[in-house]
Structure 1
Amino acid sequence: MNGTTPQAPTVHSTTGIRNVVLVGPSGSGKSRLFDHVVDAVVPGRAPRGEPEPTTGLRAATVSTGKAVVTLIDAPGNPDFVGEVRAGLRAADAALFVVSAADGADAASRALWHECALVGMPRAVVVTQLDARDADFAVTLADCQAHFGSGIQPLGVPVPGEAGAVTSIADLLLGEVHDYAGGARTVRPAGPEHADVFDTYRPALIEGIIEESEDGGLMDRYLEGEELDFETLEKDLLTAVAHGTFHPVLPLSAETGAGVGVLLHLVEAAFPHPGLHPLPTVRPVSGGDAVALTPDPDGPLVAEVVHTESDAYVGHLSLVRVFSGTLRADRPVHVSGHLELLGVPTGEGHAAHDDDVRPGALAAPFDGELLPKSEAVAGEVVVVTKLASAQTSDTISSPDAPLLVTPWALPEALLPAAVAAATRADEDRMPVAFRELAAEDPSLRIEHDGATGQVVLWTTGPAHLDLVLSRLRSRFNVGVEQVPVRVAMKETAVRRAEAQGRHVKQSGGHGQFAVCHLVMEPLPRGSGNEFDEVVVGGAVPRQFIGSVEKGVHTQLGKGLLAGWPVVDVKVTLTDGKAHSVDSSDVAFQTAAGIALREMASESTMCLLEPIDTVTVTVDDDYLGAVMTDIGTRRGQILGSAPAEGELGRSVLEAAVPQLELLDYAISLRSLAHGTGTFHREYRNHEQLPDRLAKDHIGSPRHG
């Protein structure tokens, strides 16, 4: 900062606030654009190198003179879509950053659709205009094809010598903005620019007029009237604020060319928080939704959109205030109830309600904290020392605790089993897992009781790498990845019988029990049954229950590969007892021996869990996805067009869990990033013999 620390911008009213999130894939120039915008408003910042790819939210609050703008840079890797959605929740408008060399990626198209559903205002910024494969016209057509109606450019890059972009034609003003000398020079358009204006300007003007509230404007235009700039700009800005028109701005992430036009759009067109719908809010105790307005004098409602731990400051919470005023000197109520979403949450996401006193408040400034005493409705601020606060938690008044319905959290569908490297690592794991889960609602940590494994459920390989890296660097916990085990079951395939004999004599009372058991298969889903047909008192009545207990205990432990046995009927047909040495324990043991004796690959089989998998994918890749499902031993159950999503289909299939361990990675590659899926348990079915051999004889707990 050249020795100067900026002050937190003063917010005079909610109407002067602009919260904007940058959305786009890694490599699109999004983070460099963030730097250029901040530099344009706060000159003199210390030089920075190439921005590191972000995995969380990067925020800076600056004053442009006309508005206080909080700019949020969201991650570009699709594994971190949860953070992107958090950024969308914190913001009131979005800038979709698209590379002129690569076009709009699948993740951006999906997020665009999500924004459209809630009417969020958004614009498109086309960067990397000087890249070797850059083509503005092709990129514009790509955005218009994938983002839908209302996509029109405000400016068009004009190539200079050797193809370098040094000028931008302003289509509304009829000017050319030249950046060859670094600063912007404005000059009238010449004859050499006629093709650019003839190609793009009519569609822009017609697009603005279509969104105009002046019904006679189109007639005046068609009659040949030259509409003045002020009229067009007024209607343009209104349409952008309403989320019905989406301007495209060319911008050089290398030189910052076009940043001035972008800032003007943010100030003049993007809505203040008072115009943005608030999320649904209910009392923590339950009941109907509470009607709120973004009023600084209203009840306090804020949401934690991002959390992290700083080595020097401690726990940091990035908070969006929706209603009321958050003050550092007043206690607040922190609520977290992810379980109300109806999705599995795993370890570290338990419901909690705490009354706490927040630490200091600060405006974020790209890693720095600019102290302030309060934050009014609409502001995005950093709060320190909210130790119990987790990402997506609600902050409200202790007198009337409220709960905000969180944004749509991505499903964690990539499992990775981990084991502690040492005993000391094992001791540190619980605390580390709780901290990581508190920061990241997309992370699900599961202790699988059936397999004995600790499984980290993540959104993709980059997310998994980040979690493992944080375990090592922040918590000094070493873990090793081990193969994920899928919990199976066992059942009988034909009738079998065997005798269990448990006889021991070691002085004094010995142990004596003999029982003859028959095991038969039952229809799937019947559960286990026990019966006895003993005659003549071969097994005394007081030990029948002992045999039954031993049977159920052994069935729970498994007979073939250590998995629970289901859907069998076990009948006690005969046995022997001793008047002195027989006991409850002896008959339990004999029952287990008999069951183990009759178990073999000819009498038993393994049952594997099957999931119902619902895949949503672009129609272009539907055939490939269906073929891949077949290679995974899946059964196609049906397909249909995706509701409200043109050009996309929903496929439903039954797929073994063994075949889904890497599906989150494979689907992304197969469908070029356009596919998403959901899975839920369906039933258990017999594992094919050719695969069963790999699972018989191996220990149940890995």
Structure 2
Amino acid sequence: MGDKAHTHPGAAGRATTADRPSSVRNVVLVGHSGSGKTTLTEALALTAGALNRAGRVEDGATVSDYDEIEHRQQRSVQLSLVPVEWEGYKINLLDTPGYADFVGELRAGLRAADAALFVVSAGQAPEAVAGATRAVWEECAAVGMPRAIVVTHLETARTGFDELTEVCASIFGGDDPDAVLPLYLPQYGSPGPDGHVPVTGLVGLLTQGIFDYSSGERRALAPDPEQSALIERARNRLIEGIIAESEDESLMDRYLGGETIDLASLIGDLETAVARGTFHPVLAAAPAAHGAKQGLGTVELLELITRGFPTPLEPAPPVVTSPQGAKRPPIRCDPDGPLVAEVVKTASDPYVGRISLVRVFSGTLRADQTVHVSGHGLADRGHEDHDVVERVGALTAPFGRHQRPIGQVFAGDLACVAKLARAETGDTLSTKDDPLLMEPWPMPDPLLPLAISAHSKADEDRLSSGLARLVAEDPTMRLEQNRATRQVVLWCLGEAHADVALERLRKRYGVKVDVVPHRVSLRETFGARSTGRGRHVKQSGGHGQYAICAIEVEPLPTGSGIEFVDKVVGGAVPRQFVPSVEKGIRAQAARGVVAGHPLVDVRITLIDGKAHSVDSSDAAFQTAGALALREAAADSPIRLLEPVAEVRILVSDEYVGPVMSDLSGRRGRVVGTEQSSGARTWVRAEVPEIEIDRYAVDLRSLSHGTGQFSRCYSRHEPMPQHIADRIGERHGDRA
């Protein structure tokens, strides 16, 4: 990094051809939407020779040309893999969406990678660095994933490189801001006609060399005395930061004693600290100008990736068990070991069918191989557990829409697998004789409901299969068939996530749906004691129908359900018809008595009735029981009960006040707060579910993208009458 004559101490023996784990680097690009991740991916591919100067592969598909939906959305909506070769190493660049709605794709990228590049735009406000990006940084820190920071858009900077570096150090460095320091400083040219000052090169702080990109190709120049004086302070701080992370404890004493530390030792300690995830260098990058061969900073980034980031051999692989949960020995990243691979993404191609992006953690996956597919503990989201044997189709290395056929994928590498009909995102592929299951990675809970219905009869016939394929691709989406409201509900992460789901249903699977108002599961109960009489008497020739019953209804405490009591005396209702009355009453209670919502929390007492020796029947007394309950409801105030959710919200301290005020406006009751790490607070509250239908969107806006929450059902409680009157038309009578 900065001087190719010096190598990482652990680099000895590393492969120089991409045919073994030690020659692979799996890197995920993370950053806020609009930070320039896809542009940076293209720039790295251009410098590595994977693209021509027009930014295209041989078949004409650009790197960003992954999905027609992405072009309409004008943002990346899915994880994309771009493999490139650089000086004998294979680098798998995993470009992730920056928008919060597609965090599932980001989590998949983190699972497949061994290191992360956090892309920060100087063209955005510094606040863009915080929020969701900080949360991902903390996730990486928790598992010790190596990280580096790349500053983009310096040509349209709202924030200077030095200032943005300090912002990153304060946010990402935590208690040790000196663990986040620049390796290079941008070199600026003369201001252009528009007032922008172009970045023409980089100054290497360790080598003190100038890397000039103004000609379109990287040229190494010697610094003049004036430039050396300008970088001295930043260079000294960098050296101190590297020495602080060195495994040689005597190095700091020698440095403070005035000894000059040789460059090879500094670079070696730097690369070791980066690979361990204890030091996070900051670099600058920009795409190549028109006709240029190399983008600014791309060579330096590729050197960092190949020499500082770990090989797949170094991180601890995920835990594996048998599909039944029995413990198994830890796996190793060994091409000759037992096959253990994971589906990190599932997509559909109109011509090829289902395509699975797979990371191989152990063994070697070969084309046409028979494998065991195990999955995966997300039955509540429409992903049923399964253990099946399937035959692997063709193996390919993706690049945009281009697929390059390959014969095998060894441990540590990634590739696309065709025709795995049952495999879904998160599933494990292993040998059929020794099935294994990998520990799943955490997925966010979708909290924005989208109620849908088929647009036409033809769409209704295709809806079930279309939804099944949709949720198979996206484990962050949950499919619910709500029996209480009789709605099909797709639970999504946000509005953009929902829009993409609807577009994929229409474009990929030919299913057009209508979005309908989402209903919560309301219930009804009696507000006071009441009585009712059910009379079902019909004589129309032949066998008639005769049943009369009288009941008393009284409300019970919340959660009591329906209690039926028989107090008939003297055989007014024959014993064999008492269960019939109860059956009719319970059936009517399930249908509701006023607005079509289930009746709960009442005691219904059968007190009297009449029967006919010939015309009475089970069906007649069921009808009489239902009529009696409806008459009792007509003479009593009926109260609507609404579901109340227990909500836990994690938000930055600066937004606690606005969040609590917003909860109050939603009829919420704050029941407690608890301090969390990173100047954040947990807020616990009880809120009616009807008030948080869109809370996934509203909280994101309220907290500038930094808040997150979870919810679970607590209980049903009476709804205020004015609210019940307001929603009466929306819910309607569905009896």
Same fold, TM exceeding 0.5?
yes
Is the Cα–Cα contact under 8 Å of residues 560 and 601 in structure 1 kept in the other structure? no
The equivalences for 1:25-44 within 5 A come to 25-42=32-49
Is the Cα–Cα contact under 8 Å of residues 310 and 316 in structure 1 kept in the other structure? yes
Q: CA deviation at 1:601?
A: 8.5
Q: Distance in 2 between matches of 1:47 and 1:590?
A: 80
Q: Distance in 2 between matches of 1:368 and 1:538?
A: 81
Q: Does 1:154 align with 2:188?
A: no
Q: Distance in 2 between matches of 1:257 and 1:112?
A: 25
Q: CA deviation at 1:43?
A: 5.3
Q: Distance in 1 between matches of 2:263 and 2:635?
A: 83
Structure 2 residue identity aligned to 1:223: G
Residue number in structure 2 paired with 1:5: none
Q: Which moved more, 1:681-690 or 1:183-192?
A: 183-192
Q: Distance in 1 between matches of 2:573 and 2:565?
A: 13
Q: CA deviation at 1:618?
A: 1.1
Q: Which moved more, 1:283-292 or 1:47-56?
A: 47-56
Q: CA deviation at 1:258?
A: 0.6
Q: Does 1:346 align with 2:381?
A: yes
Matching residue within 99, 105, 110 for 1:83:
105
Structure 1 residue identity aligned to 2:52: R
Residue number in structure 2 paired with 1:19: 26
Is the Cα–Cα contact under 8 Å of residues 529 and 636 in structure 2 kept in the other structure? no
Q: CA deviation at 1:326?
A: 0.7
Structure 1 residue identity aligned to 2:349: D
Q: Which moved more, 1:184-193 or 1:263-272?
A: 184-193
Q: Distance in 1 between matches of 2:202 and 2:83?
A: 28
Matching residue within 330, 334, 338 for 1:291:
330
Residue number in structure 2 paired with 1:356: 390
Q: Deviations over 1:83-130 (max 9, x none)?
A: 111011111111000001223142211110000000001100000011
Matching residue within 409, 412, 420 for 1:386:
420
Q: Does 1:694 align with 2:726?
A: yes
Is the Cα–Cα contact under 8 Å of residues 23 and 74 in structure 1 kept in the other structure? yes
Give the TM-score, by structure 1 length.
0.95
Q: Deviations over 1:122-163 (max 9, x none)?
A: 100000011141421221111111112311100111222112
Structure 1 residue identity aligned to 2:380: T
Is the Cα–Cα contact under 8 Å of residues 283 and 290 in structure 1 kept in the other structure? no
Closer, same or farther in 2 for the Cα pair 1:601/1:391, shift >3 Å?
Answer: farther
Residue number in structure 2 paired with 1:319: 358
Closer, same or farther in 2 for the Cα pair 1:50/1:90, shift >3 Å?
Answer: closer
Q: Distance in 2 between matches of 1:561 and 1:475?
A: 36
Is the Cα–Cα contact under 8 Å of residues 594 and 733 in structure 2 kept in the other structure? no
The equivalences for 1:4-15 within 5 A come to 11-15=18-22
Q: Deviations over 1:44-70 (max 9, x none)?
A: 537247945321121122221231111
Matching residue within 83, 87, 99 for 1:65:
87
Q: Deviations over 1:467-505 (max 9, x none)?
A: 100111111111111100111111122100121111111
Matching residue within 279, 298, 314 for 2:318:
279
Q: Does 1:263 align with 2:305?
A: no
Q: CA deviation at 1:578?
A: 2.1
Q: CA deviation at 1:620?
A: 1.2
Matching residue within 609, 613, 620 for 2:643:
609
Q: Distance in 2 between matches of 1:494 and 1:701?
A: 23
Matching residue within 341, 344, 348 for 1:302:
341
Q: Which moved more, 1:691-700 or 1:388-397?
A: 691-700
Q: Deviations over 1:252-298 (max 9, x none)?
A: 13541011111111111100001011111111122124311111111
Residue number in structure 2 paired with 1:211: 245
Q: Deviations over 1:13-39 (max 9, x none)?
A: 211111111111221111011011111
Matching residue within 251, 261, 267 for 2:285:
251
Q: Does 1:109 align with 2:134?
A: yes
Is the Cα–Cα contact under 8 Å of residues 66 and 267 in structure 1 kept in the other structure? no
Q: CA deviation at 1:381?
A: 0.8
Residue number in structure 2 paired with 1:55: 77
Secondary structure at the counterpart of residue 69 of structure 1 = strand
Structure 2 residue identity aligned to 1:605: R
Q: CA deviation at 1:201?
A: 1.7
Q: Does 1:371 align with 2:405?
A: yes
Residue number in structure 1 paired with 2:114: 92
Residue number in structure 2 paired with 1:662: 694
Is the Cα–Cα contact under 8 Å of residues 335 and 395 in structure 1 kept in the other structure? yes
Structure 2 residue identity aligned to 1:125: V
Q: Distance in 2 between matches of 1:146 and 1:315?
A: 41
How many aligned residue pairs are there? 687
The equivalences for 1:637-652 within 5 A come to 637-642=671-676, 645-652=677-684
Matching residue within 149, 153, 174 for 1:124:
149
Q: Does 1:176 align with 2:176?
A: no
Secondary structure at the counterpart of residue 726 of structure 2 = coil
Is the Cα–Cα contact under 8 Å of residues 119 and 243 in structure 1 kept in the other structure? yes
Identity of counterpart residues, as a percentage?
Answer: 49
Structure 1 residue identity aligned to 2:321: R
Closer, same or farther in 2 for the Cα pair 1:369/1:124, shift >3 Å?
Answer: same
Structure 1 residue identity aligned to 2:19: H
Structure 2 residue identity aligned to 1:30: K
Is the Cα–Cα contact under 8 Å of residues 39 and 45 in structure 1 kept in the other structure? yes
Structure 2: state its 5+ residue gaps: 1-15, 56-61, 65-70, 192-196, 290-294
Is the Cα–Cα contact under 8 Å of residues 316 and 385 in structure 1 kept in the other structure? yes
Structure 1 residue identity aligned to 2:681: S
Closer, same or farther in 2 for the Cα pair 1:692/1:118, shift >3 Å?
Answer: same
Structure 2 residue identity aligned to 1:66: G
Closer, same or farther in 2 for the Cα pair 1:46/1:600, shift >3 Å?
Answer: farther
Secondary structure at the counterpart of residue 12 of structure 1 = coil
Residue number in structure 2 paired with 1:229: 263
Q: Does 1:519 align with 2:553?
A: yes
Give the TM-score, by structure 2 length.
0.91
Is the Cα–Cα contact under 8 Å of residues 29 and 253 in structure 1 kept in the other structure? no
Q: Distance in 1 between matches of 2:375 and 2:53?
A: 39
Q: CA deviation at 1:327?
A: 1.1
Secondary structure at the counterpart of residue 156 of structure 2 = coil
Q: CA deviation at 1:205?
A: 0.9
Structure 1 residue identity aligned to 2:25: R
Q: Deviations over 1:547-576 (max 9, x none)?
A: 122111111111121111111111111222
Q: Distance in 1 between matches of 2:130 and 2:391?
A: 43
Q: CA deviation at 1:195?
A: 6.1
Q: Distance in 1 between matches of 2:733 and 2:235?
A: 69
The equivalences for 1:178-193 within 5 A come to 178-193=212-227
Q: Distance in 1 between matches of 2:632 and 2:727?
A: 19
Structure 1: state its 5+ residue gaps: 1-8
Structure 1 residue identity aligned to 2:37: K
Secondary structure at the counterpart of residue 275 of structure 1 = coil
Matching residue within 367, 371, 384 for 1:328:
367
Q: Distance in 2 between matches of 1:223 and 1:523?
A: 78
Residue number in structure 2 paired with 1:678: 710
Secondary structure at the counterpart of residue 154 of structure 2 = coil
Residue number in structure 1 paired with 2:292: none
Q: Distance in 1 between matches of 2:51 and 2:153?
A: 24
Secondary structure at the counterpart of residue 545 of structure 1 = helix
Q: Does 1:241 align with 2:275?
A: yes
Residue number in structure 1 paired with 2:52: 45
Q: Distance in 2 between matches of 1:60 and 1:262?
A: 15
Structure 1 residue identity aligned to 2:622: Q
Q: Distance in 2 between matches of 1:295 and 1:632?
A: 55
Q: CA deviation at 1:185?
A: 2.4
The equivalences for 1:436-585 within 5 A come to 436-585=470-619
Secondary structure at the counterpart of residue 140 of structure 1 = helix
Is the Cα–Cα contact under 8 Å of residues 561 and 695 in structure 1 kept in the other structure? no
Secondary structure at the counterpart of residue 313 of structure 2 = helix
Q: CA deviation at 1:663?
A: 0.3
